Amino acid sequence: MCMGVLLLAGVFMLSREVVHVVAQNQKAAKTIVVDAGHGGDDPGMVTETLREKDLNLEIAKRLKNYLEKAGYYVEMTRTEDKGLYEPGSKNQKAQDMQNRVAFIGEKCPLLTVSIHQNSYPDSAVKGPQVFYYADSVEGEKLAKCIQDCMNEKLQVESPRQAKGNTTYYLLKKSPGTLNIVECGFMTNPKEAELLQKEEYQKKVAEAVGQGIQEYLSQNANSL
């Protein structure tokens, strides 16, 4: 009798473990990492009225919400105004970048998008721009999908094309497929005004989310 009870208990515990492992594997298979650029002591681009780190976080949160409603698990590198570095670190920027890369590696996501805002000396320059690592075939596919959706959904006057890059740390060092999404130019007065509005932030997040869905749909059999 005791032996039977022990066997049943063992089977029960084993089945729970199997269910847990299966659930974890299913989650990993649908995980997307959303990285809100900058944070904490690193404000990113700053104007008289805006800090890039704040816009990045707002749009990243809205993107998380959109993707979760679409059925994906979303892991965010930060959910508040904090950098990914130890307080008092002598080289906060380097540690922050390294920790973001480590976070992505730990989560093993389908893909990663890093949300940023752009700037340029000529205030007339505007429009979203998506970057991918120049040697990444999947990165380029994802970037084209996101760029096309942003150009269309945000009704961009002078549409840009996704651009390859070999110098950005996250693009070079991050495992898997990653895009850096520059949502707009803070140095363009009209675009800066739009980026502060909740409705426009929502439109930006939805455009990025739809681009991600388009990419995953096109590559459903290979991912």
Q: What is the pLDDT of residues 35-89, one digit of tens each?
A: 999 999 999 999 998 999 999 999 999 999 999 999 999 999 999 999 999 988 8
Within 8 A by CB and 6+ apart from 199, the residues are: none
> Per residue in 180-189, pLDDT tens?
999 999 999 9
Segments making up each domain of the chain, as ranges: 44-77+110-223
| pLDDT the model gives residue 23 | 43
- What is the pTM (predicted TM-score) of this model? 0.88
- Residue 147: Cβ within 10 Å count: 26
Within 8 A by CB and 6+ apart from 12, the residues are: none
Residue 13: alpha-carbon gap to chain centroid: 37
Indicate whether 208 pLDDT > 70: yes
Run of H or E including 56 = helix 52-69
| pLDDT the model gives residue 27 | 60
Indicate whether 211 pLDDT > 90: yes
Structure letter (DSSP) for residue 89? -
CATH for 44-77+110-223? 3.40.630.40
Residue 152: alpha-carbon gap to chain centroid: 20
Tokens 């520059």 sit at which residue?
182
